[in-house]
Chain A
C-alpha cells in the first residue's frame, strides 16, 4: 500500500458542494481514473480517503488536500494529477500529487494554520480597517459558539495570527487573515462575527449612528489560499505547487 497526497483547488460553482459531497465526488473520480484504492474492512467497505480540515460550504480554496491509500508499492503514475482533473467536475483541479512517507502525521493533525481571503460585505474600507485595528489591539475576544447544542464562550484572540485589509470589492472590503486551527480553530464566518461586534462596539462608543444608518455587515466571498504545517521547525505547505492561484477559468460562469 502507498499513500498519495493530492493538492487541489475548489473554485467556481462547485464551491457550493459540501464536505460530504466532495468525498463522494472523489470516490467516483478515483474509480473512473482506474486508480486502485484500498478499501476499509467491515460491514460497509469504503475507500480509504483522508481529507484535511473541512472547507465551509460556499468557500473557495486554492489549497485543499486529500490523502488516498492506493493498492501496491508502485509509485503513482506521473500524470496522476492530470488524469484526476479530467475526471473531476469543472472547478476542482488537482494541482500537485506526491507520495506520503510512512509515519507522516495526518492532515487533520498536522495543519496548524490557514490563510484566508475574506470579503466583508457591506463594510467600507475605513470602517473595516477600524474594526481590524480594534481586533488586533484586543487582548481577548470572547465569542459565544455553539457545538453539539452546547454554547461556550471562547477567547478567540489567540487564533488570529494575522489580519489586514486588502482593499475594496464590489460589495464590501476584502481582508486577509491567518487563522489557527488547533484545538478548535476559528472559522472565517466566526471571524466576521468578531469584526461585526467590534465595529458595532466602535460605532456605539462614538455614538455616531443609529441602527438604520449602519450598513449590515455579512460574510461575503471566502477563499482559503494556504494551509500550513510545521515540519523540521519550518512552516511548510503540506504539498507545495508551482503556482498558488488555480486556473481562473472556473470562476467564469
Chain B
C-alpha cells in the first residue's frame, strides 16, 4: 500500500477548505485491499462538497465493499489550489478513505452528472498517472469507467473512457468486478482481452470496439469492429428497489456539503413525461420503494447519523403513492420529534393549504416551485401541464402560511418559444407578488431562469438549441421587463455556460479532441463561474474545425443517425419522434401510470412494469387526466400533523 498522507499533510495548510481531502466521515470504510480483490476508486469529478452527497456513488461504494471480491474507495476532483501543489510535489490523485494512491486500484470509475465536468474527468485521469487517451494505455494502467446520466451520450468522452455503464449500477458492478477479477488473476496481460470481456456484460459499452464514420457534421454510422461487441447496448434496470435498501450507512461528512441531511430515495423513474427532462426519460419505468422500507431507512438513518432533517428523494416525490403514510410514520417514530422532512420535488398541483400549513411549522427555508415555462401553450409543448391556477393556489398557500419568499424556476430557449412566452414568465411572477401582498407587506418572488439544453433520449433531442445571442436577448428582455418590479428578484444562468453545455451534450466522438484541448489549456471546474471560460471552448472548436452551429444550434432530422443511436435507454426512437411531433403540435401527454400505455419501450423491453402502490393518481391529479385538480383528486395529500420543512418544491 502506498499512502500519500505523509506527502499530502504538509500541503493541506496551504489550501482552501482542507477538510475536503481528509475523509473520516461517519460511514467511511477502510477496506482491506488484497491482490485477489478488484479495487474500485469511485470518483465524482467535481468538488467534495458537491460530490460527497451523491447517492449513486454511495450506493455502489457500499455494494462493492460488501462483496468478498471487491473493495471500493472514493475520490473527488481536487480544487485548483491543491491540484497545483499535487503537481508540484508529484503527489498523485488519492482516495479520501485511506489516502491510497490511485495506482493502487484496478478501476477508476466516474459518476457523470453534468457535461461541464468533462475536463475534470480528464484532469483526474491525468492526476491518477494514467494516459488520458484510452488508446495510449498499457495493461498495467487503471481501467477508466464512467456511468451516470451523461453516459447516455458517451461519445464525447469515448476517447478517454475504457468502458461506460448504462442505467442502474447496483447489479452490473458485480459483473464488472468478476470480469476484472478474472483478468487480474490471469496477470492483467492483454488490455484488449478485458475490454472484450467487459463488452460482453449487459449494459456495458466499450467505445474502442466500435467504429464511427461521418458525413459532414453528422454521424453516418456506428458499427462494432469486434464480434464480442453488441450492435446495441441496452441500459441496465433493477426491477425492485426493495432489494436494494442502500445506502445503509449514508456518509456523514465532517465539513459542509450540499444536501447535508439524510436522503432516502423513495422511487426511481418518472412518467410525468416532461419533454425537456432527460432524467425522467432515461430512468423509466417507475419503481417505488415499499413504504415500510422507507420508514425503516428513515428512522434508522436518523438514529445512526444524528441528522435532524431527512429528504425523501425522487424525481417527483408527491407522486409517491405512500407519501402520507410515510411522512406520518416518520413523525410518529420515537426520537423523531424534532425531525424535519423535506420533499424536494413536490408538484405545485399537490401543494395545498394543508400541506403548506404542515411544512411551515418546521424551519422555513424558502419554497421553490418550477412551472418551467411562462404560458400554457409553452407548458403543453414541454408537457408540464401545470395550470396557472395551480401555481397561484400553491403560492397563495405558501404566503398564507407565513412564507415571505418564493422562488420560481423557468427555462427559456424552449422549442417554438416566442417573446410572448418568455414575457409570460414576468406575468406569472407579478401575479405571484400580488398574491403575496394580500398576506405580507413585502413579499419576495425570485425568478430563476436557465437556458434550455437539449439532451439525448428526450423528445427534444432533435431540437436546435437557441443561439448564445438569442438566449442572451431573451434574458435581457426579461431582465428589462422586470427591472422596475418591486418584490421580484431576477436571476439567470449564464447563457455562455448553457452554450458550452449544449456543445458537449449532443456531440459525437470527434468532440473528444475539443474537450482535451480545453483541458490542456487549463479548463477546469467549468461548472464554476470563477473558472468557466466559453472562449476556451470556442477557440478549441475552431482549431479542430467544428462550429457551435453544427454541434448545438442545428436541428437534427428524422433520418439522421444520432451519435447515441447504438445505445438504448429502453425508449423507442419512434416514440420519442412522435412525442417531438406532438410537442410541435402543442399536444400534451398524460402520465402513463394511470392511463393506457404509449409503448415508449421502457417497461416492455425489460419485462417489468411501473411499480406503484396505488392505482389512483395522487393529489393534484395526473397530467391531464381530467381530474378535479382544485380539490386534489381522490387521494388528497394530507401530510401529517407534525412539523416538516420543504426546502425545494418542484411541480
Chain A interface (Cβ within 8 Å of chain B)? Answer: 13-14, 16-18, 20-21, 24-25, 27-32, 34, 39, 43-45, 57-58, 87, 89-91, 171, 219, 253
Contact = CB atoms under 8 A, between A and B. Distances in A.
Q: Which of B21, B26, B305 has the most CB of A within 10 A?
A: B26
List 8 A-B pairs, minimum CB-CB distance, nearest first: A28-B306, A32-B306, A16-B18, A31-B306, A13-B22, A58-B13, A21-B255, A17-B19
A244 B561 CA distance: 72
A89 B254 contact: yes
A34 B303 CA distance: 9
Interface in B297-330: 303-308
Nearest to A25: B254
Contacts of B255: 17-18, 21
B7 to A, nearest CB: 12
A61 B502 CA distance: 50
B303 A32 contact: yes
A58 B12 contact: yes
A89 B26 contact: yes
B184 to A, nearest CB: 28
B509 interface: no
A35 B260 CA distance: 22
Interface in B59-113: 99
B19 to A, nearest CB: 5
B575 interface: no
Contacts of A32: 303-306
Interface in B5-62: 5, 9-10, 12-13, 18-19, 21-26
B254 A17 contact: yes
B19 A21 contact: yes
Contacts of A58: 12-13, 18
A210 B168 CA distance: 63
A45 B22 CA distance: 30
Contacts of A14: 22, 24, 254
Contacts of B13: 58, 219
Contacts of A18: 19, 255
Contact of B256 (A20, A87, A89): A20
B19 A43 contact: no
Given A21-B254, A28-B252, A253 B19 contact: no
Contacts of B555: none
A3 B343 CA distance: 36
A13 B256 contact: no
Nearest to A14: B24
Interface string B442-480: 000000000000000000000000000000000000000
Contacts of B305: 28, 32
Nearest to A59: B13
Nearest to A27: B306
Residue with the greatest number of chain B CB neighbours at <10 A, chosen from A13, A20, A30, A89: A13
B24 A21 contact: no
Nearest to B308: A31
A26 to B, nearest CB: 10
B99 A253 contact: yes
A21 B9 CA distance: 19
Contacts of A34: 335
A17 B9 CA distance: 13
Nearest to B25: A89
Interface of B: 3, 5, 9-10, 12-13, 18-19, 21-26, 99, 252, 254-256, 260, 303-308, 335, 338, 363-364
23 contacts: A13-B22, A13-B23, A14-B22, A16-B19, A16-B21, A17-B22, A18-B255, A20-B256, A21-B19, A21-B254, A21-B255, A21-B256, A25-B254, A28-B252, A32-B303, A57-B19, A58-B12, A58-B13, A58-B18, A89-B26, A89-B254, A90-B24, A171-B10
Nearest to A121: B10
A44 B308 CA distance: 13
Contacts of B9: 253
Given A16-B22, A28-B306, A253-B9, 20 more contacts: A13-B23, A13-B24, A14-B24, A16-B12, A16-B19, A17-B22, A17-B255, A21-B19, A24-B260, A28-B305, A34-B335, A45-B363, A57-B18, A57-B19, A58-B13, A87-B306, A89-B25, A90-B24, A91-B24, A253-B3
A27 B307 CA distance: 9
A27 B260 CA distance: 13
Contacts of B335: 34
A205 to B, nearest CB: 30
Given A14-B254, A28-B252, A28-B306, A89 B24 contact: yes
A71 B5 CA distance: 42
A87 B21 CA distance: 21
A57 B19 CA distance: 9
Contacts of B18: 16, 57-58
B643 to A, nearest CB: 11
Nearest to B307: A28
Contacts of B303: 32
B310 to A, nearest CB: 13
A113 B436 CA distance: 53
Given A13-B24, A20-B256, A89-B26, A29 B306 contact: yes
Contacts of B23: 13
Nearest to B13: A58
B335 to A, nearest CB: 7
Contacts of A17: 19, 22, 254-255
Contacts of B364: 43
Contacts of A43: 363-364
Contacts of A30: 306
Contacts of A89: 24-26, 254
A207 to B, nearest CB: 32
A110 B394 CA distance: 52
A32 B12 CA distance: 30
Nearest to A30: B306
A29 B252 CA distance: 11
Nearest to A34: B335
Contacts of B21: 16
Nearest to B26: A89
B298 to A, nearest CB: 15
Contacts of B12: 16, 58
A13 B21 CA distance: 9
Contacts of B256: 20-21, 24
Contacts of B3: 253
Contacts of A219: 13
A14 B22 CA distance: 7
Contacts of B304: 32
Contacts of B22: 13-14, 16-17
Nearest to A90: B24
B173 to A, nearest CB: 28
A171 B18 CA distance: 21
B383 to A, nearest CB: 38
Nearest to B9: A253
A20 B256 CA distance: 9
A43 B255 CA distance: 24
Most buried by A among B19, B22, B254, B307: B254
Contacts of A253: 3, 5, 9, 99
A58 B171 CA distance: 41
